[in-house]
Amino acid sequence: MPAPLSLRLFIEQYASLPEEDWKKIALLFHPRTVQAGQLLLAEGQICRHLYFLESGLLRYFILKDGSEITKFFTDAPYVFTSQVSFTTQAPAKESIEALEDGTLWEISLADANALLAHASWSTFVRKLIQEVQKYTEEILTELQTTTAEDRYKKMLSSQPQLLNRIPLKHVASYFGIAPQSLSRIRKNMLASRS
């Protein structure tokens, strides 16, 4: 089964994609399904694939003193991996969990590297990493400059539907606060509206 049209459209957002390049790319991605709660990658494992998330929602997290701290969320459609582990084939310092049932398409490191000979794929990969770098820097800047409450309010106004799909405890750990504190913030917001 070749990779879906949604992957082609995703790549074309970043780079122009000749028909012959797409045909090669489509054959190197292989389908896989995940279920809500399933770990795609556990800290310490080596990440062997780059993935296209066709549907579903992911959470990246790390363990710190026995607690899970959420780094960020990845919503479909998007291309993802555990970048350092994938590119160096070293054990991952993070885990990736599916928060919803989903479909993804995986490509091996060798196949992804072979595709770099094509300008379309090479441009796509470069621009995608630039975008991921931009998102990571935005999260970092917000963490350095904004309170958890203000970050929560911003996400509530900019991504309300995404927020609805994520269990409260993970939202709280993403904002670096206790679930009780997040409940208090939400109660205060409701009270000030009524």
Contact residues: its own copies, CB under 8 A = 62, 64, 69, 71, 83-84, 87, 93, 116, 122-123, 125-126, 129-130, 132-134, 136-137, 139-141, 143-145, 176
The residue (of 103 and 108) whose beta carbon lies closer to its own copies is 108
**Of all residues in the chain, what percent are helix, strand and coil, respectively (each to 5)?**
50, 25, 25
Name which of 64 and 193 has its Cβ closer to its own copies: 64
What's the DSSP call for residue 15?
A: S
| Distance from the first to the final alpha carbon of the chain | 53
Residue whose CB is less far from its own copies, 144 or 194: 144
CB of 112 to its own copies, least distance (A): 12
DSSP letter (8 states) at residue 178: -
Q: How far is the CB of 2 from its own copies (least distance, A)?
A: 26
Give the nearest distance from C-beta 125 to its own copies in angstroms: 6
Interhelix angle 19-28/5-12, rounded to 10 degrees, is 120
Q: How far is the CB of 146 from its own copies (least distance, A)?
A: 8
Question: How far from 154 is each of 70, 124, 147, CA to CA, in Å?
Answer: 18, 30, 11
